[in-house]
Structure 1
Amino acid sequence: MNQINSKKSIFALTVSHCAGMLDAIALPIWISVLMTVYMFDSQQSGLLVTMFLIAVTISSVIFSAKFNLLRPHKCVYIGFFIAGLCFMGCTQTDTFGSLAILHFFGGFAVGMSLSLAHGTMGRSQNPHRIFGIAGIAIGIFGLLFMMGALPIIQHWGGRYLFLFLGSIMFVASAITLFLFPNNEKNAFQVTQTSSLLPKTKLSSTVWLVIAGVVCLTIIQSMTFSFYERIGIAKGLGQKAVGMALIIYGIMALFPAPLATVLQYRIKPTSVICIAPILQAISVMFIAQSSNYLLYVIFGSVMIMVLIFSHTFIFGLLAQLDPTGRAAAATPAMLMFGTAIGPILGGSIVKFYGFPALGYAAIILAGIQFMLFKRASFQIYHPDESSTSSLKST
């Protein structure tokens, strides 16, 4: 029986995180293939990816609410296997309707697996540390993905992207089948403990953080979805843009280990309030500057801000809600925002052009800042009825 904190279990959890968060890495290539190979416009391409991500969100909402009643080790590998079949199915059709159905069911399966994996992480001894390790893994995975996917598409064609994505899901299914932690005893103890806590609703502080995460991911996904297309439209060239994506993957390696090292040195409330400011600045330069160096630098800043801040957010939510429900709902909040991003970004690009993404980012970052600022205030000045505080932070 694998315990959550064992090396094998942590490996299975990081694999689950990487496979479940594959969209965060593949978005620009995914959108590009749909536009250039399947010949959909920006809005249609964004909608297909949004179908996948909305399904992840719906699935995560369903399974996170039932997390304490489920046995994750018996469900996670099934979800990844179904997702693999759906991606393989995408290689056999080019009609919008069929692709939409496959994207939806693939997303629903991924959402189940990712939600149960994140909920299991939330039950570990140090959720911040395990999520940081998963962040390091996804940084390495993202770099390998870019280095593998780009040559495959160039030499074999865009349809092979879905073959590549499906293969990744099958590998994740095999690994989680044998190594995912079986912690039924621990789950019983958590359920018993959580029964002593208020059973009604998550605190308003948790909901403020969740809403802030949604804004965080909307900005990230609406920009990153069209990062490759923005570079091409500016005349930077396919090779230069491909190199920018690889650099993007390399820079994604650093924020998670940095966040792990700084866990007890920086307050999570400080991190979440700085993140929206850096996001807005990054998107403005990406969307409006024609300078290649700035395009590369702020693309890297954008992913570093996301991974660094979300590592702290995951640990924060695990502290605010010890039952694990908020941690299990992480995919829902992430994917809801990520689902809105492609269709929102695609619509903005279609009607107003790429530069308008910068102005949209400023508005969303302002909302995000206010949500996180209010959450920070409630954490350190809890109301008499509040059950959540971080006095130890």
Structure 2
Amino acid sequence: MSNIESWPTRAVLIVCHVAGMVDMVALPVWVGNLVQRYGFNSQQAGGIVTLFLTGVVLASVLLAPRFDRLPRRWIPAIGYGISAIGFLCASVVKEFGSLAALHVVSGLGVGVGLSFIHGTMGCSQNPHRIFAYAQAALGLFAVGFLGVVPQALSALGGSALFVVFAGVMSLAAVCAAAGFPAEDRTCIGQTSARQSETHVPRATWFAVGGVLVLTLNQAMMFSFLERIGIDRHFGTDRVNFVLLTTGIVGLFPALIAAVLQRRLDARAVALTAPWAQAALALTVTNAATFLPYALAGSIYPFVTLFAHTFLFGLIARIDQSGRAVASTPAMIMSGSAVGPLLAGTLALGMGYWAIGICVVLFAAVSTLLVWRIPHGSSAPEHTAMGIAH
């Protein structure tokens, strides 16, 4: 058993994954907090969050191609430490410019750490399974975060959100410093010098495009889920209940994806998911009453988490060097980075209904990309590879 396959190392990877993916959980609270307590409009609030995600993308783009050549022992801890310091500083400023700059710094730190986390996951014996565990842990974190943080912000003020983020990143930094593997023998075995010089397989990029669109749609809709409910006068308590429900629902998709790993074709999942997102987005953005808003909003993250688990495993199978999955933060955050700003601009200029229409258009783009992935590369894993655990 390699170091990656030990449960202490898996636990470190999972904790660091949760910290690095905090935006997937926090977007509606994050944007809503900047609008309600800092006085920014929807475009400015979305722009600040976009700058954080842009920092993640830049760091990942720079590091992912070099994943199989860089020393890994301390880099994730340093990255998460930088992010923690950035968020802690953000908790004591109110100006747009200062918050924007500190969000970029924090994003760069997260991008550094998360690139190494996902690259290492991709070199494990069963990337689909460990990513599913990590996504399930993210769902568990979402329940606590969405159940506690909105109430804490009401009591303690908007700066408390950045203190929470700083604490999460500090925990990830400590875990990475204590237990991140110094040498990844599995990945070394998979990635020879010759492999490092070859191009990533072409099919990988179609799958990467699918992930990017999937997360773009998620970020567009989820970042304004709270504001849509508040602006339609559904009530703060009921909207907070919907946010908590999204966390509870988020416990299950990755676990279900792990169970269905050998039963569903990843390509079919990736073709279906964007249209499910589109139907739910149209429901949320056009709902005149609370019930359809609540049902569609609660289910929305399930689709993203379920499909992303299959796509992560698919990308790891197509490109076994670990370089493609090391760019997972860039894939996710490229979509997520554009989402809040684009959704905020649409909401400010045309109204929330325009977000739903935009999700439909991007679903069509995703279909064109995923359709070009060869059938054989996306077959259920018992036919594509003989790894059981």
TM-score by length of 2: 0.95
The RMSD of aligned alpha carbons is 1.9
Distance 1:319 1:272, change over 3 A: same
Q: What residue number does 1:291 align with?
A: 289
Q: What residue number does 1:211 align with?
A: 209
Q: Distance in 2 between matches of 1:237 and 1:73?
A: 48
Contact 2:196 2:321 in 1 (8 A): no
Q: Which amino acid aligns with 1:369?
A: T
Distance 1:2 1:188, change over 3 A: closer
Q: What residue number does 1:84 align with?
A: 84
- Secondary structure of the corresponding residue to residue 209 of structure 2: helix
Between 334-343 and 154-163, the greater mean CA deviation after superposition: 154-163
1:66-77 superposed matches below 5 A: 66-77=66-77
Q: Distance in 2 between matches of 1:286 and 1:184?
A: 44
Q: Distance in 2 between matches of 1:92 and 1:346?
A: 25
Q: What residue number does 1:4 align with?
A: 4
Distance 1:185 1:263, change over 3 A: closer
Contact 2:17 2:114 in 1 (8 A): yes
- Secondary structure of the corresponding residue to residue 73 of structure 1: coil
Distance 1:118 1:152, change over 3 A: same
Deviation (angstroms), 1:215: 1.1
Q: What residue number does 2:384 align with?
A: 392
Deviation (angstroms), 1:379: 4.2
Q: Distance in 2 between matches of 1:92 and 1:308?
A: 37
Unaligned runs of 5+ in 2: none
Q: Distance in 2 between matches of 1:90 and 1:342?
A: 19
Matched, 1:261 2:269: no
Unaligned runs of 5+ in 1: 382-388
Deviation (angstroms), 1:28: 0.7
Q: Which amino acid aligns with 2:256?
A: L
Deviation (angstroms), 1:377: 5.1
1:149-164 superposed matches below 5 A: 149-164=149-164
Q: What residue number does 1:386 align with?
A: none
Q: Which amino acid aligns with 2:311?
A: I
- Percent identical among aligned pairs is 37
Cα distance per residue 1:6-50 (max 9 Å; x no partner): 110111000011000001111111101111111111111111100
Cα distance per residue 1:101-133 (max 9 Å; x no partner): 100010001001001000000010100000010
Q: Distance in 2 between matches of 1:184 and 1:309?
A: 27
Q: Distance in 1 between matches of 2:172 and 2:196?
A: 36
Q: What residue number does 1:190 align with?
A: 190
Q: Which amino acid aligns with 2:384?
A: S
Distance 1:186 1:379, change over 3 A: closer
Deviation (angstroms), 1:201: 2.2
Deviation (angstroms), 1:300: 2.4
Deviation (angstroms), 1:189: 2.7
Q: Distance in 2 between matches of 1:79 and 1:235?
A: 41
Contact 1:268 1:312 in 2 (8 A): yes
Matched, 1:336 2:328: no
Q: Distance in 2 between matches of 1:161 and 1:198?
A: 41
Contact 1:59 1:112 in 2 (8 A): yes
Matched, 1:243 2:241: yes
Q: What residue number does 1:134 align with?
A: 134
- Secondary structure of the corresponding residue to residue 218 of structure 1: helix
Q: Distance in 1 between matches of 2:196 and 2:76?
A: 28
Deviation (angstroms), 1:392: 2.1
Q: Distance in 1 between matches of 2:72 and 2:382?
A: 29
Between 87-96 and 313-322, the greater mean CA deviation after superposition: 87-96
Q: Distance in 2 between matches of 1:217 and 1:180?
A: 27
Q: What residue number does 1:307 align with?
A: 305
Q: Distance in 2 between matches of 1:2 and 1:161?
A: 38
Q: Distance in 2 between matches of 1:302 and 1:12?
A: 28
Deviation (angstroms), 1:301: 2.2
Contact 2:124 2:186 in 1 (8 A): no
Contact 2:4 2:184 in 1 (8 A): no
- Secondary structure of the corresponding residue to residue 357 of structure 2: helix
Cα distance per residue 1:180-231 (max 9 Å; x no partner): 2232444433332xx3448332222111111121111111101111100000
**Which structure 1 residue ranges, 4+ long, deviate > 4 Å from structure 2?**
376-381
Deviation (angstroms), 1:170: 0.7
- Secondary structure of the corresponding residue to residue 235 of structure 1: coil
Q: Distance in 1 between matches of 2:136 and 2:124?
A: 18
Q: Distance in 2 between matches of 1:13 and 1:294?
A: 37
- Secondary structure of the corresponding residue to residue 38 of structure 1: coil
Q: What residue number does 2:18 align with?
A: 18
Cα distance per residue 1:346-386 (max 9 Å; x no partner): 000000011111111110111111111122458479xxxxx
Q: Alignment length, in residue pairs? A: 384
Q: Distance in 2 between matches of 1:202 and 1:362?
A: 30
Distance 1:184 1:270, change over 3 A: closer
Contact 2:57 2:334 in 1 (8 A): yes
Q: What residue number does 2:275 align with?
A: 277
Distance 1:376 1:285, change over 3 A: farther
Cα distance per residue 1:267-321 (max 9 Å; x no partner): 1111111101101001000100123222122122211110100000010000000
Contact 1:81 1:170 in 2 (8 A): yes
Q: What residue number does 2:177 align with?
A: 177
Q: Which amino acid aligns with 1:46?
A: G
Q: What residue number does 1:143 align with?
A: 143
